[in-house]
Structure 1
Amino acid sequence: MKKTIHIIGSGFSSLAASCYLAKQGYEVSIFEKNANVGGRARQLKKDGFTFDIGPTWYWMPDVFERFFADFNKTPSDYYRLEKLNPAYSVYFGKHDFITIEDTLEKIKIAFENEEQGSAKKLQKFIDQAQSNYNIAIKDLVYNPGESPLELITPATIKKLNQFFSTIKRDVRKAFKNKKLIQILEFPVLFLGAKPSDTPSFYNFMNYADFGLGTFHPKKGMYEVILGIQSLAKALGVSIYTNHPVDNIIVNNGSAIGIESRGQKHFADIIISGADYHHSETLLKPEYRQYSEAYWDKKTFAPSSLLFYVGFNKKLNHVNHHTLFFDVDFDVHAKAIYDDPKWPESPLFYASFPSKTDSHAAPEGQEAGIFLIPLAPGLEDTPELRDLYFDKIISRFEHLTNQDVKKSIILKESFCVNDFIKDYNSYKGNAYGMANTLLQTAFLRPKLKSKTVKNLYFTGQLTVPGPGVPPSLISGKLVADLVNKYHSL
């Protein structure tokens, strides 16, 4: 008789884990609290507009290829990818922006135009980033974080000093131009920490950016979720939406099932891909591994204030991905990490998927997603949301030299309260736990419960960390651990 596994949540990590475990012969069921699968990677469709609610960047295509290859599939079996050119543009002021194109050679020209001699420095920087990428993404991140020895390899020993320097220090040692520095420090935001708190080794994100490039799945990131869901179902996974889990049932120190909508569902193994902190609240206090004090001391990646906006016309002077760095990054970062509060003048990011994808908006119209990074746990009110939308849309008009406010025909928002309500997210964080030196690999919350047998966790608060590719990897890691400690 097949061993049964119940998985809580249906984000990238849960769906990936379900595929691996079903392939290995387990009977797998997913229980999702919301009406649709995807966790934070859901979709909003309204009035002819389509928005990705969560992730909008498709980086590290090799990780997606590796995932599907494990099932003798390719991403193109499920969705169509387009490499973006330009990848994105960055505004520093009115008529003052830098465009990042689709090859390193083109990017080197853009750098050289800003700072003489920087093309050569950039090549050296990216060569090192590629070396780190090959070590990290092709090897290290596929370790389950059970032991510090996982990090000790001949390759990492040679780069030991990079774990004790920082991205900020390295970038500023090589480059003097403030705009170039900000562009090189930007990818670290995907790791959820300040450049000054992120080990140099993580410059592999710069290779993901400049070396591999930025892609867009036709019809949006949600197509990736639908693709993995399709694979899971083909492998025999059962998926139950509108099934919030209220309790993890433990008997004699072993997880034996879950409770959802007043019914008990028993299984041999339980995996939670829901928010890790929330998952532990589904256990009685004596079975929790981490105290409230533990979570409170951790450095969390930001939350976000997001706006999904429909315009009744096409917008000018913006690309699919556009960053607005016309204010002081360090001051905004301080408001996120050091002195949590609403930032006076926030940086923001905007995505216009309809620039690439006709599915995103009605003909002649534009879909815009605006994001302001925020400290988790902040007060969230309709009045604050309106205030900050007015702040960024006024700056947007000024920087891009166009009037857009009167062209808004749809506006929805998503912030701290929604992250808590929809995802049970700790303090309303958007990206999980930051990848700082003391929150890396074996120093992150464990995939395997230390206090309850047959209970596992996956997702962005555990190994390897925040982001879509790491979440896919996390699903594989937890499946591997289940296989390691259980035999069919």
Structure 2
Amino acid sequence: MNFTTNSPDLVAARADTRPHAIVIGAGFGGLAAAIRLGAKGYRVTLFDKLDGPGGRGYTYRQDGFTFDAGPTIITAPFIFEELWKLCGKTMSDHVELRSIDPFYKIRFDDGTVFEATADLDAMRAQIARFEPADLAGFDRYMRASEAIYDEAFTKLVDQPFHELTTLFKSAPELIKLGGFRTVYNKVSQFFSNEQLRIAFSFHPLLIGGNPFTTTSYYCLIAHLERSFGVHYAMGGTGALVRGMVDLIEGQGNQLVFGAEVDEITTNNGRATGIRLTSGETIPADLVVSNADLGWTHTRLLRATPRKVWTDEKIARADYSMSLFVWYFGTNRTYEDCYQHTMVLGPRYRELLDDIFRHKHLADDFSLYLHRPTANDPSLAPAGCDAFYVLAPVPHLDSGVDWATYAEIYRQKIEKRLQETMLPGLKEAIISSHMLTPQDFQDRLLSTKGAAFGMEPKLFQSAWFRPHNISSDVSGLYFVGAGTHPGAGLPGVVSSAKVIDRLIPHATAWAKAAL
């Protein structure tokens, strides 16, 4: 629902005597937090500057096409199903998830293709095609991935990490599993073939990490994919967003769009509510920020003294890469194009060095091409296809003037896709929209235009990442990609479960406030 802060619905909600929780940002983390707070008995009001929900999972609609702005792959449906159960409902009654196998295809620059699939025999056959000597390594890698998953995901993904005791308890096992290694380094212990090393190490890029610096805990993704599958929400990821919005409204709680938060108000070191850019102040018993963590600290808490996450510390952090995303529709279908395809360029390590270390926008690129109409033709007019293509690029420290360079870069990507995957593309395009690093900063209020917050390196993960409970302000909590456990749908939705463990039931909160 979209209404102003003085609408009858919101005014009536203020008469509710339940403890009031404000959530800033309607991304997946904020939506999940609102659902969990509602289940705990809080009156919840969620504010977002955009004109609709989703954040990075926003939905664009134009020219008869529906484009998911961000996430397209769902790897842990049980994390979402739990939210429906909290509301006494069944997710499958409201959102249809369709399993996809192969999960995705990887097209290397020489034209060879690797298909990631749940069928282990098929995987072994493909590995034998690339390097027969790596077959034993594949089996050992899958066992290693499962061991990391059992420790880093099953035991720790939804556990608070604001106390050093949690780190000390988990450290011995995590060290044993090789968390001090990088993803690429860990994968290279099992595979000698370079293309296989790439195929099993690129995953951190989906959550803003460099495979050459991201902790090897993220090798758990291989086990996660094969245990629970890769899924697509019919109607697009936006259908999942709409389902979560329905849960919030079904709890009698409110979402307010087109309302940008200017400041988190505090008194004596405690969060007291928010002030909107309109000047209106809304009081609250607690505040949850799903906004970018750098923005939250340096902008929304600009008037609040901070000893831990100071402006200087925020500035010193290493941030993820950004993204250039081109959404486009065609007046024909491309039946030979799979739903999820990684279209890799001629360089791997060198390209990632350009993006992450040198902050240099190179002439070559690797791409993720998404064709949702392969499974869901409802997202495009009859006889048409909807696409988005994503290129990892440096964040705004690169100095690129995207206002002038975006169209040039789009044309380069168009040429590459026409040469490799989509013949005749230039003549087939009938709808187009772009998202650049500048948009991540201006539209999504992301520090440096980074797409995933702080880079998920070892010493920017778990206890070393901004905690889910503020170190500087009482009654303030954080969810989303910038806090523990990190980016990606399983991470941001799990961050709401972390604060669920930290925030008491509304009745207990009310008694404590007396």
Q: TM-score, normalised by structure 1?
A: 0.95
User: Does structure 1 conserve the Cα–Cα contact (< 8 Å) formed by 2:402 and 2:437?
Assistant: no
Aligned twin of 2:9 = none
Return closer, same or farther for 1:285/1:420 CA change in 2, 3 Å cut-off: same
Aligned twin of 2:251 = 235
Which deviations, in whole Å up to 9, do the C-alpha atoms of 1:419-445 show, x marking residues without a partner? 112211111111222221101111111
Return closer, same or farther for 1:397/1:94 CA change in 2, 3 Å cut-off: farther
Aligned twin of 2:462 = 441
**Could you list the runs of 5+ residues in structure 1 that have no partner in the other structure?**
none
Pairing 1:328–2:351 present: no
Aligned twin of 1:356 = 375
Return closer, same or farther for 1:475/1:158 CA change in 2, 3 Å cut-off: closer
Which deviations, in whole Å up to 9, do the C-alpha atoms of 1:190-232 show, x marking residues without a partner? 3422222122332101212344332111011111111111111
Residue identity matched to 1:300: Y
User: Does structure 2 conserve the Cα–Cα contact (< 8 Å) formed by 1:433 and 1:466?
Assistant: no
Aligned twin of 1:128 = 144
Aligned twin of 1:453 = 474
Residue identity matched to 2:300: L
Q: Quote the Cα distance in structure 2 between the aligned partners of 1:470 and 1:173.
A: 26
Most deviating of 74-83 and 219-228: 74-83
Q: Quote the Cα distance in structure 1 between the aligned partners of 2:361 and 2:183.
A: 25
Deviation at 1:380, TM superposition (A): 3.6
Aligned twin of 2:444 = 423
Aligned twin of 1:283 = 301
Q: Quote the Cα distance in structure 1 between the aligned partners of 2:173 and 2:150.
A: 15
The within-5 A match list for 1:212-361 is 212-260=228-276, 261-280=278-297, 281-288=299-306, 289-361=308-380
Deviation at 1:450, TM superposition (A): 2.4
Pairing 1:142–2:158 present: yes
User: Does structure 1 conserve the Cα–Cα contact (< 8 Å) formed by 2:36 and 2:497?
Assistant: yes
Return closer, same or farther for 1:256/1:87 CA change in 2, 3 Å cut-off: same
User: Does structure 2 conserve the Cα–Cα contact (< 8 Å) formed by 1:67 and 1:472?
Assistant: no
How many pairs does the alignment contain?
A: 488
User: Does structure 1 conserve the Cα–Cα contact (< 8 Å) formed by 2:21 and 2:44?
Assistant: yes
Q: Which runs of 4+ in 1 moved over 4 A?
A: 152-156
Residue identity matched to 1:478: I
Residue identity matched to 1:195: P
Which deviations, in whole Å up to 9, do the C-alpha atoms of 1:112-170 show, x marking residues without a partner? 22111433321221122122212222220111111233244579527525122222122
Pairing 1:44–2:66 present: no
Deviation at 1:30, TM superposition (A): 0.7
Secondary structure at the aligned position of 2:389 is classed as strand
Deviation at 1:316, TM superposition (A): 4.7
Pairing 1:464–2:485 present: yes
Pairing 1:17–2:33 present: yes
Deviation at 1:172, TM superposition (A): 1.6
Most deviating of 70-79 and 331-340: 70-79
Most deviating of 307-316 and 288-297: 288-297
Return closer, same or farther for 1:156/1:76 CA change in 2, 3 Å cut-off: farther
User: Does structure 1 conserve the Cα–Cα contact (< 8 Å) formed by 2:35 and 2:83?
Assistant: no
The counterpart of 2:46, out of the listed 30, 33, 39, is: 30
Return closer, same or farther for 1:473/1:381 CA change in 2, 3 Å cut-off: same
Deviation at 1:412, TM superposition (A): 0.7
Output the aligned Cα RMSD: 2.1
Q: Quote the Cα distance in structure 2 between the aligned partners of 1:274 and 1:437.
A: 23
Secondary structure at the aligned position of 2:490 is classed as helix
User: Does structure 1 conserve the Cα–Cα contact (< 8 Å) formed by 2:273 and 2:282?
Assistant: yes
Percent identity reads 27
Aligned twin of 1:157 = 173
The within-5 A match list for 1:110-121 is 110-121=126-137
User: Does structure 1 conserve the Cα–Cα contact (< 8 Å) formed by 2:181 and 2:216?
Assistant: yes
Aligned twin of 2:392 = 373
Aligned twin of 1:79 = 95
Return closer, same or farther for 1:150/1:70 CA change in 2, 3 Å cut-off: farther
Most deviating of 188-197 and 437-446: 188-197
